[in-house]
């Protein structure tokens, strides 16, 4: 009987130990899972931050690449503008276009600089260097624009001088033509007066000679008015008709 009690006590003790061990094991397992989950969450958070940094770096590199490419294009454009200025074909509109595009690049860099983290020192230094390059290029384009403006003013002044000279020449030409018209008209009028003032004569031979003399003088007078007409005389046409009437009457 004592043996049976001892066995019973042992079984109860073993059962109790088993329950305790099982409970302890479950508790240990739960603590390990929480720690594991915390580690996983931390890893995920770190991974997300790393992905964000990588993504931002890619975006930064893309922006810098875009700016450098556009700046290279505008540098070439500024060089072409300088050649055009030296050739006298540079335009204000072209210089303004290049300046506007440079300003746009500088504004993009300024926005990127404001958004960047102070920790991105290399990126910020790159932005600063590019801004300096753009500012220098803007000064170069401004200088070219000034050269264009100066040359345009010189061309404008020369054009005005040429216009004044042309006007002076035209006035002188018209004055010369007017003097020539007056001279031809005067000569024609004098010849007409000489022809019409010749005295009447008697005798067939004298009349024939007189008619020939008048005819000759009238033709000379007509020729004078024809010359005046070709030069633009306003009265030459009527004088020619009068002379032709006199010729017909001979």
What pLDDT digit, counting tens, does each position of 174-189 carry?
999 999 999 999 999 9
Question: If 0-12 CB within 10 Å is exposed, 13-18 middle and 19+ buried, where does residue 192 land?
Answer: buried
* Cα 25 from chain centre: 82
**pLDDT attached to residue 141:** 97
Q: Using an 8 Å Cβ cutoff, are 246 and 218 in contact?
A: yes
Q: What is the pLDDT of residues 30-78, one digit of tens each?
A: 547 677 667 766 767 777 777 777 888 888 899 999 999 999 999 999 9
Q: What is the pLDDT of residues 134-144, one digit of tens each?
A: 999 999 999 99
| Domain limits, the chain | 35-151, 167-249
The CA angle 82-84-90, to the nearest 5 degrees, is: 100
Residues whose CB is less than 8 angstroms from the CB of residue 16 and which lie 6 or more positions away in sequence, other chains included: none
Indicate the pLDDT class of residue 200, thresholds 50, 70 and 90.
confident
Question: If 0-12 CB within 10 Å is exposed, 13-18 middle and 19+ buried, where does residue 101 land?
Answer: middle
Rounded Cα distance between 44 and 37, Å, is: 10
| Tokens (6 digits) for 77 | 């454009």
Q: CA nearest 106: which of 126, 136, 143, 135?
A: 135
| Tokens (6 digits) for 144 | 């070219």
Q: Using an 8 Å Cβ cutoff, are 227 and 184 in contact?
A: yes
What sign for the dihedral angle of Cα 163, 165, 168, 174?
Answer: negative
Indicate the pLDDT class of residue 172, thresholds 50, 70 and 90.
very high
Q: Using an 8 Å Cβ cutoff, are 232 and 175 in contact?
A: no
| Tokens (6 digits) for 176 | 């010369």
Indicate yes or no: pTM above 0.75: no
Domain 35-151 CATH assignment equals 1.10.3470: no
- Given a cut of 70, whether residue 13 has pLDDT beyond it is no
């Amino acid at each position: 009987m004592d043996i049976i009690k001892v066995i019973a006590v042992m079984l109860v003790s073993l059962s109790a130990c088993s329950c305790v061990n099982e409970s302890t094991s479950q508790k240990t397992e739960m603590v390990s899972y929480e720690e594991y989950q915390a580690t996983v969450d931390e890893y995920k958070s770190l991974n997300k931050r790393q992905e964000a940094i990588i993504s931002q770096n890619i975006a930064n590199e893309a922006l810098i690449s875009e700016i450098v490419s556009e700046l290279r294009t505008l540098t070439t454009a500024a060089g072409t503008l300088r050649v055009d200025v030296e050739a006298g074909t540079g335009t204000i509109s072209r210089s303004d276009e290049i300046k506007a595009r440079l300003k746009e690049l500088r504004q993009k860099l300024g926005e990127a600089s404001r958004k960047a983290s102070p920790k991105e020192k290399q990126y910020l230094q790159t932005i600063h260097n590019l801004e300096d390059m753009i500012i220098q290029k803007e000064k170069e384009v401004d200088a070219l624009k000034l050269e264009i403006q100066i040359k345009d003013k010189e061309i404008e002044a020369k054009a005005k001088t040429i216009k004044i000279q042309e006007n002076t020449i035209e006035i002188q030409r018209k004055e010369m033509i007017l003097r020539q018209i007056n001279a031809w008209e005067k000569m024609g009028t004098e010849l007409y007066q000489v022809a019409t003032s010749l005295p009447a004569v008697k005798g067939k031979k004298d009349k024939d000679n007189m008619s020939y003399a008048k005819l000759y003088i009238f033709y000379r007078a007509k020729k004078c008015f024809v010359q005046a007409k070709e030069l633009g005389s306003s009265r030459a046409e009527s004088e020619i008709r009068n002379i032709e009437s006199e010729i017909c009457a001979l």
